[in-house]
Chain A
Amino acid sequence: MNPIGAELLSGLLDEHSGSLMLYARQWCDTPEDVVQEAFVLLARQTSVPENVVGWLYRVVRNAAISASRAAGRRARYETAAAQRHDTWFEPTAGDRLDAAAATEALRQLPIEQREAIVARLWAGLSFDEIAALMGASTSAVHRWYHAGLTALRERMGVPCLEKKTRNAN
């Protein structure tokens, strides 16, 4: 019997497909193919990987980078990413942050900061896992993450709490 059952696959798909696609979008413009390939590869495994989620993100990262290299689109993608208008997030009326604005702000970040933020916020990986995934030190990932968040907040125009308090007074 296959150790990767349909239930496990379905659960992983429900929980991580969106964040995996967002993660793959950092490199390629066909994230659905990359994520599908990763899940098919998981189904082929003879044993369940120790950290299934980490394994999936690693496979998605490698496949996305390979896809971008094969198509020769990576450089063009990174430079022309800001010109694209499809949003990376589902628009929700009750959200305080605008999905399109968040997408645009994320796109303008350097790839290291963007990857660290996506892996931390939407994939839920720890800094150690992100460091192993990116092949960098944990402190470097910390630095990229905080620098990216600061840049995002500035670009999205989110005021600090202190400023908000002063404005309220």
Chain B
Amino acid sequence: MPGEEDPKRELTDFEAELASLRPRSDRLDRQRLMFLAGQAAAATASRRGLSPGRFTRRLAALAAVALVAVGLTRWLDRRQREVVERIVYVPVEQAANPAIPDNARQQANTPPATPFPSSRPGSAPARVAPYLRELDQLLAQEQGDCLTKSPQQERREPGSGGWEVATPSLSRQSLDTLLDELLRKKPHQTRSTPGASHQGAEL
């Protein structure tokens, strides 16, 4: 109807009136804004100026450095893990010390007394005392003799010598007794080795 106004039309008129108002922009510094925008654009352009070739070269150099670093790290790590344990035998020469008597020096070099030390397989002959070597020889001889001993001899008292050689559980004292007895029996053999007779006398 011509008398009635469309509410949308009324609203549109009001919108137009409102839209005719101009927002204030006087607080905006136009010159400064354009300067800052130009600065930002120049900075962006310079960053974009990095050519693809240079970028590839930089990337390759970075990758190479990273690879070297990783390799060195692994090498160091492996090197730390490889601990080689070795037993090193150092020959110690016996120093001539006059303060130490000969018998004490000899006892220090002598290994602990075990039954038949020189009869051990693989034992170093240099470490065996000469009297023990001689004892071994005598025992070997006596062992043969013991096998052929008469039953009368078998009834001898223990500790009087001879019989305990055959048993593996001989004590040092019984061995010494046996050695003395053997030395008395066969003086010609001990005379052939003067060092051995001397040690035997000491024992």
Q: What is the interface of chain A, defined by CB distance below 8 A to chain B?
A: 1-2, 4, 6, 9-10, 13, 17-19, 21-22, 31-32, 35-36, 39-46, 87-90, 92, 95-97, 99, 102, 117, 121-122, 146, 149-150, 152-153, 158, 160-162, 165
Contacts and interface: CB of A to CB of B under 8 A. Distances in A.
A44 B20 CA distance: 33
Contacts of B44: 2, 43-46
A146 B11 contact: yes
A160 B37 CA distance: 47
B64 interface: no
Interface residues of B, number: 34
B41 A43 contact: yes
Contact of B40 (A43, A99, A165): A43
A36 B32 contact: yes
Contact of A40 (B5, B25, B30, B40): B40
Per DSSP, are chain B's interface residues mostly helix, strand or loop, or mixed?
helix
Given A6-B38, A161-B5, A121 B18 contact: yes
Interface string B11-48: 10111011111111101111011101110111111001
A130 to B, nearest CB: 14
13 contacts: A2-B44, A18-B24, A36-B29, A36-B36, A39-B36, A40-B40, A45-B44, A89-B22, A89-B23, A90-B23, A92-B21, A122-B23, A150-B11
